[in-house]
Structure 1
Amino acid sequence: MSEADVADRLAATGLAFQNWHEKDRNYIPVGLTALSIHFPDVPGRMYSSVANDDPDILEKANVGWYRTARDGNLFESADPRFLVGAKPTTDARVWQWAVVRLTEPWDIMGAGGRTGTLGVAWCRPGFAMLSLDGEVIVRGDTWENEIGTVRVRTPRHREFLDFARTIADDPSEPPAFRTEIKTWLQTFE
Structure 2
Amino acid sequence: MDESRLADSLDEAGLKYLGMVDSTTPLIPPNLAGFANSCPAEGVAGVEYLTSEDPQFLEKANSGWYRLTREGGLFAAGDPEFLLAVNCAEPDEPRVWRWARVSLSDQWDIAGAGAATGILGNGFGHPAFVMLSLDGNAIVRAQQGEKSTEFVLVREPHQVQFFRKLAVQMSRWPDTPEPTRAAIERWLTTTAQ
Q: For residues 72 and 104 of structure 1, what CA distance do their matches in structure 2 show?
A: 20
Provide the residue aligned with 1:148 in structure 2: 150
- With over 3 angstroms needed to count, the CA separation of the structure-2 counterparts of 1:166 and 1:59, relative to structure 1, is same
Between stretches 173-182 and 118-127, larger displacement belongs to 173-182
1:15: how far off? 0.5
Secondary structure, aligned partner of 2:54? coil
1:163: how far off? 2.0
1:186: how far off? 1.8
- The alignment status of 1:117 with 2:119, answered yes or no, reads yes
Alignment of 1:7-156 (within 5 A): 7-23=7-23, 25-43=25-43, 45-90=45-90, 91=93, 93-155=95-157, 156=159
Work out whether residues 3 and 88 of structure 1, in 8 Å CA contact, stay in contact via their aligned partners in 2: no
Gaps of 5+ in 1: none
Q: Which has the higher helix share?
A: 2
Provide the residue aligned with 1:169 in structure 2: 172
Between stretches 177-186 and 3-12, larger displacement belongs to 177-186
Secondary structure, aligned partner of 1:37? helix
Residues 58-99 of structure 1 deviation map (CA, whole Å, 9 limit, x = unaligned): 111011100011111111111111111112343463211111
Length-normalised TM-score, structure 2: 0.90
Note the aligned Cα RMSD (angstroms).
1.8
Secondary structure, aligned partner of 2:135? coil
Secondary structure, aligned partner of 2:13? coil
Secondary structure, aligned partner of 1:121? coil
- With over 3 angstroms needed to count, the CA separation of the structure-2 counterparts of 1:64 and 1:80, relative to structure 1, is same
Length-normalised TM-score, structure 1: 0.92
Which letter does structure 2 place at the counterpart of 1:103? S
1:162: how far off? 2.0
Residues 114-172 of structure 1 deviation map (CA, whole Å, 9 limit, x = unaligned): 10001111111110111111100011110122113111113223443122111111112
Provide the residue aligned with 2:181 in structure 1: 178
Work out whether residues 40 and 162 of structure 2, in 8 Å CA contact, stay in contact via their aligned partners in 1: no
Work out whether residues 109 and 123 of structure 1, in 8 Å CA contact, stay in contact via their aligned partners in 2: yes
Gaps of 5+ in 2: none
| Count of matched residue positions in the alignment of Structure 1 and Structure 2 | 189
